[in-house]
């Protein structure tokens, strides 16, 4: 309890504490690696999952994750709030850097452009429910989504993050997260064809 208090004091006013409290009650703050491992590395799988879905192959995902985690360690002091969205935002930024160097032609995908203006389709014929989807087809369809839709879908459905966290990671307003997610689900439904007709965004009467 005392240790807790002293961290708090130190946090609030390090200079004054130094003058008035020469006895460090807390453990020395010299174990950044241990703290980092404790706070950030529990999200290593999430980092890899995101990198893997962004790069779409194991080898590149490994490179991106390794670089991202080392970057995260350097910026560990900048961590505010929850570690998971913070780490994933670093993974995403590392991926963007990687993309610019390795696949410069693909970076246009992150430009929102006309996305929000694409008209929605009419309700197609209703056939099979999404629950009967083939696993392989589903994975391929997600992998084929444009990257800005793929990332919000993965963050929402596989990482179960809130819109707020996704907005922070993808560095866009929450409204954009919503429209990208809607678009992602619609594109997915379309590419999966009649086996999974969803029409959450259809507007016709």
Partner 1 sequence: MTREEANRLLHAYIDGELDPAKSLELEAHLAENPSVRAACERLREMSTAIRDKADYHAAPAWLEARVRAAIPAGRKDASARPTRWKWLKPAGSFAMAADWLRPAASLAAVALVTWVVALGTMRPGEDERMTQEVLASHVRATLSNRSYDVASSDQHAVKPWLSARLAFSPPVADLSASDFDLVGGRLDYIGAQPVAVLVYKRRQHLIDVFVWPVEEQKAGKTLTRDGFNIEHFAKNGMGFWLVSDLNRGELEDLARLLAERSAAP
**For helices 163-170 and 83-102, what crossing angle results, to 10°?**
30
Among 71, 73, 96, 124, binds partner 1 (CB under 8 A): 73
Q: Is 76 helix (H, G, I), strand (E, B) or coil?
A: helix
Minimal distance, residue 201 CB to partner 1, in Å: 6
**Closest Cα to residue 180, out of 133, 204, 147?**
147
Between residues 26 and 109, which has the closer beta carbon with respect to partner 1?
A: 26
Q: Is 100 helix (H, G, I), strand (E, B) or coil?
A: helix
Between residues 170 and 188, which has the closer beta carbon with respect to partner 1?
A: 188
Minimal distance, residue 108 CB to partner 1, in Å: 25
Would you count residue 173 as binding partner 1 (CB under 8 A)?
A: no
Between residues 73 and 110, which has the closer beta carbon with respect to partner 1?
A: 73
Would you count residue 37 as binding partner 1 (CB under 8 A)?
A: yes
Minimal distance, residue 30 CB to partner 1, in Å: 5
Between residues 76 and 110, which has the closer beta carbon with respect to partner 1?
A: 76
Minimal distance, residue 27 CB to partner 1, in Å: 11
**Closest Cα to residue 71, out of 95, 35, 50?**
95
**Closest Cα to residue 85, out of 135, 25, 40, 53?**
40
Q: Which of residues 108-167 bind partner 1 (CB under 8 A)?
A: 126, 129-131, 133, 135, 138-139, 142, 153-154, 156-158, 160, 162-163
Minimal distance, residue 57 CB to partner 1, in Å: 10
Render 57-105 in DSSP notation, one character per residue.
Answer: SHHHHHHHHHHHHHHHHHTGGG--S-HHHHHHHHHHHHHHHHHHHH-GG
Would you count residue 11 as binding partner 1 (CB under 8 A)?
A: yes
Apex 85 CA angle, 100 and 181, nearest 5: 75
| Residue 9: both structure tokens together | 């004091």
């Amino acid at each position: 309890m005392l240790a807790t208090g002293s961290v708090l004091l130190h946090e609030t006013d390090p200079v004054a504490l130094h003058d008035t409290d020469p006895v460090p009650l807390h453990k020395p703050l010299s174990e950044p690696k241990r703290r980092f491992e404790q706070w950030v590395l529990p999200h290593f799988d999430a980092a890899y999952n995101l990198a893997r879905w962004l790069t779409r192959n194991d080898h590149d995902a490994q490179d991106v994750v390794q670089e991202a985690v080392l970057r995260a360690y350097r910026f560990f002091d900048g961590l505010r709030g929850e570690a998971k969205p913070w780490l994933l935002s670093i993974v995403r930024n590392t991926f963007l850097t990687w993309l610019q160097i390795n696949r410069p032609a693909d970076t246009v995908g992150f430009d929102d452009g006309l996305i929000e203006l694409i008209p929605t389709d009419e309700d197609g014929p209703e056939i099979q429910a999404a629950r009967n989807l083939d696993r392989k087809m589903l994975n391929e369809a997600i992998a084929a989504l444009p990257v800005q839709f793929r990332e919000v879908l993965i963050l929402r459905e596989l990482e179960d993050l809130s819109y707020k966290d996704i907005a922070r990671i993808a560095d866009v307003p929450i409204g954009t997260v919503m429209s990208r997610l809607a678009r992602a689900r619609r594109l997915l439904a379309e590419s999966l064809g009649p086996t999974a007709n969803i029409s959450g965004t259809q507007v016709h009467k």
